[in-house]
Amino acid sequence: MVKLLYGNDVNEEIHNLLTYSRHKLYIYCPEMIIPENVREILLSKDVPGNDIRLLCSKDLDDDTDDFLSSATVSIVRSFPELSTCMYMNDDVAIMTDVPLVGLEGYHTGVMIYRKSEPLLYRSLMGEMGRIFHTATEIYEPELKGYCIACGREVIYNPGKPFCFECFKDLSIKYTDLREIVPENSFCHKCGKPAPVSFGRALCSDCYQVRTTNEDTEAKNTNEEMEQ
C-alpha cells in the first residue's frame, strides 16, 4: 500500500518510522539537524549489527557534528545533489520535504509499505543504496573488538581476530592460520573468555546475534546491488 501523508501526519509517521526501526534505519536530509528526541532514538539504535545511514547535502553544524562523531555504528556521508528527504526502516519508507526538525505549515509526503509493495520498496532501497555508495564519507566508525588470544582491544574484524603481537607469536608456531587455537581464548566481539578459534572467533551468544543481524544486513546490501 502507498499512503499519502498530509499536514501533521507527516511528522508523526516520520517519528514512528524512527522509533519502530529494528535493524535498518536510513535518514536522508539535505540539512542534517537532529533534534533531541531524535538523538535519543538514534543512540538506542546505534549498536553493532544495525545498519544506520545518514546522508546530507550541506555541511554539518558544530553541534550535530559533535553528536555524530561519537556514533558507534552510524555511517554519515555527504551527497551535494540530495534535494529531498527520504526515510526508511525495515518495514516502511517515506519521501517528503519535511526534515528531522519538522516544518511549520502544510506539507505532504508519500509512505510505502514493504509488505504490500515489496517491488516498489526494494526499488527505492536500491536507489537509496546507489546514492549512498557514491556519496562522500564524513563518519564511518570502526567497531571495537578483542584479540581472541589475549583479550586486548582491537578493531572488530572476524577475519583478523588477533592483535599484532599475538599474531606474530602464533604465526611462528603455525603455518596454517586455521590451525590456531589459543589455550586461553576470548570472544572477538564481547571480550568474554570463551572457547573460540581463528575459524570461529565469536562465542556462541555473539555468533547467534551475528547470524541474525549481520547476515540480514548483508542480504539487504545484496538486494540494493541487484536493483
CATH number of the domain that 93 lies in? 3.30.870.10
**Which domain-ending residue is among 106, 122, 141?**
141
Give the β-pairing of 108-113 and 2-6: antiparallel
Out of 119, 141, 163, a domain closes at 141
In a domain, 11, yes or no: yes
Considering its fold, how many domains does the chain have in total?
A: 2
Give tens-digit pLDDT for 172-204. Answer: 777 776 667 777 899 988 899 998 888 888 888
- Work out the pLDDT band at 226, boundaries 50, 70, 90: low
Say what the pTM is: 0.66
Q: Are residues 67 and 164 in the same domain?
A: no
**In terms of C-beta density within 10 A (0-12 exposed, 13-18 middle, 19 or more buried), how is residue 89 classed?**
buried
Please check whether residue 177 is in contact with residue 198, taking contact to mean a CB–CB distance below 8 angstroms.
yes
**How much is the mean pLDDT over the chain?**
84
Domain coverage including residue 122 = 2-141
Cell of 103: 516544518
Residue with cell 549481520: 214
User: In terms of domains, do 136 and 158 share one?
Assistant: no
